A and B are shown apart, each in its own frame.
Chain A
C-alpha cells in the first residue's frame, strides 16, 4: 500500500457526462500529480498541485479541471466525456522537501474510467 488513496476504483459512464475522481495523498505530502494512462500507453502528465495551488500543467484538455483542497486531497473533474477519455487515471503524491532531489512519487492504484 503506497498510502495514496484514489476513489472510485472503477467508473463507467456515458458520453457527454461529467465525473469527479478523488485522490487522498500520503500524510505529509504536499504535491499531487494527475496522470492519464490509456491502454498500452505511457503516463501522460495532466496537472500538478502543490499545497493547494496549481504548480504545473501538462497535456490537460479544457474539458478537464482539477483542484487541491486545504486538507490536501485533490479532485480531477472530467466533463463532456468522450469515448477517447476512457483510461486509467493515476494520482501520485510526493513531499516537497527543502533539499532538492528528495522526493519519491507514490502512486495510487488508479481509477479506471470507461466511457460508453
Chain B
C-alpha cells in the first residue's frame, strides 16, 4: 500500500517567517495531493490541493509544489501568522481512491 512520510513532525517559526513542510510517497500512480489543517480540538480541513498534472499551486500565503519524478510534495506558508499554528497533514490519493495521510506536522508560530 501507499507509504506517506511527512517531515518535520514539529516546526516552530517566528511570526512573519516562512514555513515548509515536506511529504514523500511511494505509489507513482498517486494523482491527488491535498493538505489539511487541523486546529486544536477541530476536524481536519482542506486548505490546498494539487493534482498530478500540475507542478505548483498558490493560494495567497500558501503554496504547494509537486515533484512527481521524485515523488515528493511540499507545503509552503509565507508571512506566517499566529493563527497559522495548527497541525498540518499531507495526504495522497491513488487510482484506487485510497487516501493516506502523513503523520502530521505541528506548526507553532511565535508572535
Chain A interface (Cβ < 8 Å from any Cβ of B): 2, 31, 33, 35, 40-43, 45, 48, 50, 55-56, 58, 90, 92, 94, 96, 100-110
Can you list, as one digit per residue, whether each of B14-34 has a CB less than 8 Å from chain A (1) or not (0)? 000000000000000001101
Question: What B residues does A106 contact at CB under 8 A?
Answer: 46
Question: What B residues does A101 contact at CB under 8 A?
Answer: 31-32, 51-52, 93
**CA distance in complex: A109, B87 (Å):** 16
A103 CB contact (under 8 Å) in B1, B42, B97? B97
B44 CB contact (under 8 Å) in A31, A90, A103? A90
CB distance from A109 to the nearest CB of B (A): 5
CB distance from B96 to the nearest CB of A (A): 7
CB closest chain-A residue, reference B45: A107
CB distance from B60 to the nearest CB of A (A): 19
Tell whether, in the assembled complex, residue B101 and residue A42 are in contact, meaning their CB atoms are under 8 Å apart: yes
Question: What B residues does A42 contact at CB under 8 A?
Answer: 6, 87, 89, 101-104
- The 7 tightest CB contacts between A and B, nearest first, are A42-B103, A101-B32, A42-B104, A107-B43, A101-B31, A43-B101, A101-B51
CB distance from B46 to the nearest CB of A (A): 5
Question: What A residues does B95 contact at CB under 8 A?
Answer: 100
Tell whether, in the assembled complex, residue B44 and residue A43 are in contact, meaning their CB atoms are under 8 Å apart: yes
Question: What B residues does A109 contact at CB under 8 A?
Answer: 42-43
